[in-house]
Amino acid sequence: MAETQFTPRVFSGIKPSGGLTLGNYLGAIKRWVDMQGPAFETIYCVVDLHAITVWQDPATLADATREVAAGMLASGIDPAKSILFNQAQVPAHAELAWLFNCVARLGWMNRMTQFKDKAGKNAEKASLGLYAYPSLMAADILVYHATHVPVGEDQKQHVELTRDIAAKFNHDYGEAFFPLTEPVIEGPAMRVMNLRDGSKKMSKSGDSDMERINMTDDADTIAKKFKKARTDPEPLPGEVAGLADRPEAKNLVDIYAALSDTTAEAVLRDHAGAGWGTFKPALAELAVEKLAPISDEMKRLMAAPDEIDAILAKGAERAEAIANPILERTFDLMGFVRSRR
């Protein structure tokens, strides 16, 4: 198949399934801000259609959507540099997802670990949408011919599935139409862990508020949560190898490194031998310094929902201008009659 040249384009999204966490900030938003610039066209999305794969109260979904958008804007996603919108305003995502449901194989979906984690023991009661979610995610990415997807470690398998869907589509319909998108998973905090259980990732939909730092938490709450974070009794080692069997310690060091734009090695060089009584307050102070300006701006934006809605509407129009021609070409390649055009 002939090689196709694709415009370097970034797509990524966050579900409005709860308040934003430090995991969402370090694993996603902070890096999205850094990718804005001449190297890429950047498209960022509040993926509300993904949120409803688990129950969302209609009375709160709109505000949750605006809060995620506010978190992105307050962190530095600039509508002049990036396209920012919510998924439900661009129908092409759901349309392409259906086409991809007929490309993706059941065997591939059955391997998705996130479905197993989220469905839990009672998978029979999970929604069909939760199972099909990776196919919609592939559509989110490929409806823009996105070449790069900055995500946390937990989404790696879904981006790989996106590549499988693109490759099978290209093979079946005889044209190198969809790019084989690269996941971009770089930095010290690609899997921020739950503060009470270092074997689980920090999630906005997790059970207890104490297990996560929310981007809107105030200084006292942040200090309290880090203070109560589970750790072992040992002081910090001088080298990263010393964190190998210490997931909770490694997590706090990685968070410190990501917040201060450095590496775990550099953090340990500065803090070797420190006990938790010293390191945890230093970490809390750093987190407050970085998050407080963002949370203040989020509060301002949340008090101006019309401003957010206008940005999302404009972004949706710009997104659709890219997505619709790609969707149309997909229908053509598959042989549909589209005589209304």
Instruction: Kindly indicate which of the ranges 59-67, 196-204, 238-246, 253-261 contains the residues binding ligand ATP, using the contact rule CB under 6 A.
Output: 196-204
Q: Which long-range contacts (CB under 8 A, 24 or more apart) does 177-180 make?
A: 177/4, 177/329, 177/330, 177/333, 178/142, 178/145, 179/4, 179/6, 179/142, 179/145, 179/146, 179/147
Is residue 140 part of an annotated ligand binding site?
Answer: yes
Query: For 193, which DSSP code?
Result: B
The answer to whether residues 308 and 71 touch, using CB atoms and an 8 Å cutoff, is no
* C-alpha span between 133 and 117 (Å, rounded): 13
**Residue 125 is a catalytic residue:** no
Q: Total residues at the site for ligand ATP (CB under 6 A)?
A: 21
The answer to whether residues 74 and 298 touch, using CB atoms and an 8 Å cutoff, is yes
Is residue 152 involved in binding ligand ATP (CB under 6 A)?
yes
- DSSP helix/strand/coil, 253: helix
Q: How far is the CB of 245 from ligand ATP (least distance, A)?
A: 20
Is residue 203 involved in binding ligand ATP (CB under 6 A)?
yes
Q: How far is the CB of 68 from ligand ATP (least distance, A)?
A: 8
Instruction: Kindly indicate which of the ranges 163-171, 190-198, 245-253, 275-283 contains the residues binding ligand ATP, using the contact rule CB under 6 A.
Output: 190-198
How many CA atoms within 13 Å lie on the side-chain side of 63? Answer: 9
Instruction: Kindly indicate which of the ranges 21-29, 86-94, 165-173, 242-250 contains the residues binding ligand ATP, using the contact rule CB under 6 A.
Output: 21-29
Strand partners of residue 12: 44
Given the residues 125, 156, 168, 201, select the one marked as catalytic.
201
**What residues numbered 62-91 form the site for ligand ATP, per CB under 6 A?**
none
Residues that bind ligand ATP in the complex, under the rule CB under 6 A: 14-15, 17-18, 21, 23-24, 27-28, 151-152, 154-155, 190-192, 201-205
Q: Which residues are catalytic?
A: 118, 201, 204
